[in-house]
C-alpha cells in the first residue's frame, strides 16, 4: 500500500469518494478503489479545492447533504503557496475565512469540526474534518446558547466597521457580552428582525451600556 494510503489509513474505509482530483495527483491513489461522484454512506471523502470560497462552498454542501457517515472523515485538499503549478492558499487565511472556533474546532455554522492537517504532496495540503458529535444535528434549528455564537463575533465586528466609535466600544466589551450581542443579532432567520436588533445594539452601545438588559433596567 502506498504512503498516502497508509497515512490516511484508507484500508479501514468501505466507501471512498475522491472529487475534482487533478490528473497529476491520481497516481497517488492508484492502489485503492474509489468513486468520483458523491454517494450516500461515504465514510471517506476527499475533495480538491481551488480557493477559499470554493473550500467554503464544498464544506457547506457536505454539511447540508449529510452524506458522510457519522464517524466518517472529510478532507479538502488545497494548493500550497509554494506550489509551482497552482495559485496557492495561505494557511493562516483559512481559519479566519471559515470562522473556525479556535476552542472547539467547529467550522462556522456547520456541524463539522477541524481535526487535522497533513501534507498530500508538493502541491497540496489536506485539512481533515469530522462531525462534531456522533450523530450530526439536523439543519434548520437556530441555537439559542450564547456560547454557540463566539464564531459570529468577527462577523458582527465587520458589520460595525462603518461605525468606528461603536466598534471600539464593542471590542472593549468582555467576551461574554460580545457573544450575547452576537446571539441577539444572529439568532433569527428573519432579516428585518436582525436589522432591527442591530439598530437597537447601536442605540444601546451609544448610550454607554454593555447589554440590552442593563439598558432596559436603567430606563
List the beta strands (DSSP E) in the chain: 16-19, 42-48, 68-79, 112-119, 124-131
pLDDT in the model for residue 23: 95
pLDDT in the model for residue 2: 66
The residue ranges of every structural domain in the chain are 3-131, 146-218
Q: What is the mean pLDDT of each run of 10 residues along the chain (219 residues)?
A: 80 94 94 92 96 96 92 96 92 89 85 90 94 58 60 88 92 90 85 90 94 75
Mention every residue, 6+ apart, whose C-beta is less than 8 A from residue 121.
Answer: 25, 28
pLDDT in the model for residue 59: 96
pTM score over 0.85: no
**For residue 65, which of 99, 118, 112, 5 has the smallest C-alpha distance?**
112
Domain 3-131 has CATH 3.40.50.150: yes
Amino acid at each position: 500500500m502506498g504512503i498516502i494510503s497508509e497515512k490516511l489509513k484508507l484500508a479501514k474505509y468501505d466507501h471512498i469518494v475522491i472529487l475534482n482530483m487533478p490528473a497529476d495527483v491520481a497516481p497517488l491513489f492508484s492502489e485503492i478503489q474509489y468513486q468520483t461522484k458523491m454517494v450516500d454512506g461515504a465514510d471517506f471523502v476527499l475533495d480538491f479545492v481551488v480557493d477559499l470560497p470554493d473550500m467554503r462552498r464544498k464544506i457547506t454542501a457536505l454539511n447540508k447533504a449529510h452524506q458522510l457517515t457519522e464517524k466518517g472523515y472529510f478532507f479538502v485538499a488545497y494548493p500550497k503557496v509554494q506550489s509551482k503549478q497552482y495559485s496557492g492558499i495561505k494557511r493562516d487565511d483559512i481559519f479566519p475565512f471559515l470562522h473556525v472556533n479556535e476552542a472547539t474546532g467547529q467550522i462556522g455554522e456547520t456541524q463539522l469540526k477541524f481535526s487535522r492537517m497533513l501534507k498530500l504532496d508538493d502541491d497540496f495540503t489536506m485539512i481533515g474534518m469530522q462531525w462534531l458529535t456522533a450523530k450530526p444535528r439536523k439543519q434548520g434549528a437556530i441555537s439559542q446558547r450564547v456560547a454557540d455564537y463566539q464564531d459570529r463575533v468577527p462577523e458582527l465586528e465587520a458589520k460595525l466597521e462603518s461605525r468606528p466609535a461603536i466598534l471600539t466600544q464593542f471590542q472593549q466589551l468582555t467576551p461574554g457580552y460580545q457573544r450575547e450581542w452576537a446571539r441577539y443579532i444572529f439568532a433569527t432567520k428573519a432579516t428585518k428582525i436582525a436589522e432591527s436588533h442591530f439598530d437597537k445594539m447601536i442605540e444601546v452601545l451609544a448610550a454607554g451600556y454593555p447589554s440590552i438588559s442593563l439598558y432596559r433596567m436603567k430606563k
